[in-house]
Structure formats: C-alpha cells, structure tokens
Structure 1
Amino acid sequence: MENKAQTSTYSSVEFDVQGLYDGIWPNLSISFDYFVTSPPYTYEGLKMFTAIGIRFLRIGGYGFIATPLDDDPKAYDVTIELMKFILENGCIIEEVVPGLTFEEGLPAYQVIIKKLKDVDEINWLNQLNGQLYEYQIFGDDSYNHQVEANTYKKDEK
C-alpha cells in the first residue's frame, strides 16, 4: 500500500475466497476500473480470484492477473485454463507480458484483460472441487519447481 498513487481512489476487497464454493460473493455495491490479483497457481485459485475481479469490473475496465511463468506442464495448463475462463466470462485478453512480475522469487506472466460485457453467471468451465491451493492438487511435488529455481538463482550469485 505504500506505493499507492496519491491522486487515485483505492479499494481493497477483503473476502474469504472459499465462500465462492457455497455461492457467497463479496458484498459490494460498486464497480471498479481495474483489479490486480496474484492468486494461487491452481485451476480453481486462478479462476476464483479472477471471477471476483471480473464480477465487479466495469465494462471497459482492466484486470491484471499473475500466472506462473515456469517451464513446467502444470504451469502451462493452469495458465491456459485461466485464459479459456477469461474468454468465457465476457472478457478478452489484451496482452500477456512474460516476467513482468516476480512471485515467490520466480517470474510470472502478467495477463492483462479487458471486460467487454457482463455475464449473467460465471462459467467455471467445470465443477469446482475445493482444490484452491497447490498442495491439494500436486501434493508433495507442489513447490519443487520453486525450490529448484530459487536454489539455482542463489548458486548463480
């Protein structure tokens, strides 16, 4: 928050995203010009955090979503699923910037979206299964790529 622009209005949404499993959404009565999120890098994590942003984004507004930039099939799969989700829910992908941000020491894609229309209901593409976090899907292997990448970077210095 210390880097917040001094001339803009800024709001932060505090909400337990797991409420979406029960159909509970944040209680907001306003729409936003943009949203920024760095969600858990899972099928459901990326979609759930993005869904909240899309739902309260005004038409013509932008979303900025961090996704994994990692040479790993798991990273590719969740990012592609997110892109399909974006297109199914009234938005278009404006740009994908590799390495714009770093998450947990690793580069991330910045997926920039624009909302074109409102949708009556969020299309999740498939049923949500309560697997929001990496360890719930990938088990013990969930953070191996991060440990290996961070070890490699430390050895380079």
Structure 2
Amino acid sequence: MFQRIQSVYFILSTLLFIVLLGGLDFLKFHESSMEYHIVDLYGRSSYYYSKGSFQLISNEFIPLVVPVLGMILLLVSTMVSFKKIKRQLSLARLTFLVNTFLVVVFVIWSTLLFVQGNANASNHIQLGFYVAVTTLPLTFFGYKGVLRDKTLLDSINRLR
C-alpha cells in the first residue's frame, strides 16, 4: 500500500486536514484598530484589543469541523481499501468530489463574508484557507494514481 504514489497523496491530504483541526485561522477581519473577527474551523470569534491583550467579545459556533472529520475518515477508508481496486477507485472518486464541493462552498462562503463585511474593514485570508485549498490537488492526484493502477491491472489481466 505505501509503495504506491496515491498513498503518498492521500496521506499528505489527511495530514493537511489534521493540521486544520489544530485551529488554523481561515479568515481575519479588522473592523477597527481595536476589533477583530476571526473565522476558523470551529466558528467565528470576535476579539477586542486593549492594553496589549485580546479580550473575547463573542464566539459563534459554526460546525465546519464535521465535514473535515468526514473527509479524514473518507481518506483513511480510501487508503485502507487497497486490496479491492474497484472499491478504492469509487472511494477515491467520492473523496475528490466531496473535497471539491467543500472547497467551492468555502470559497463562496468566504467571498460572501468579505462582501457582507464593513466597507472600512480590512479582510485577510489566513493560512487555513490555503491549507484547505491545497488538499484539492492532492486528492485529485491520489484519484489519478488509483485510476492508473486500475488500468495497469486491467491490462495485465487482459494479457493473461
């Protein structure tokens, strides 16, 4: 299982999703010089900066952690099903499609947050956004690796 290239791509994608669980920020909004809004995997938090420290104003739970945990389970099940190539191919395809859907929804959602924000607000895309987008080509390359293995096995079976 680990000598195949798609396993490397799926492991890297799984590790990036696990890094997202660590609480990387996706978006940051500066309403004023003292008020900050941060969106991460666990929700939206508002902070007020005074006297050298941040004070939490409000915390809104947004369940983005549930799809990320689902993607981790889907990636692990795709890696584990290496003995049944048809099942692995369908799981790899499903993983890629779900990941594409999640990234597109997140890009649209972040764009809406930027548009709905205050006109004077300063908007920043944080590292978590780039980590989430980086998982998309990794799952695609993993899917292509599984597809390449399936065509290789089909051609070997045809020669027998």
Instruction: Provide the TM-score with structure 1 as the length reference.
Output: 0.29
Q: Which has the higher contact order (CA 8 A, sep 6+)?
A: 2
Structure in which a larger fraction of residues adopt strand:
1
Which structure has the greater CA radius of gyration? Answer: 2
Query: Could you state the TM-score of these two structures normalised by the residue count of structure 2?
Result: 0.28
Higher helix share: 2
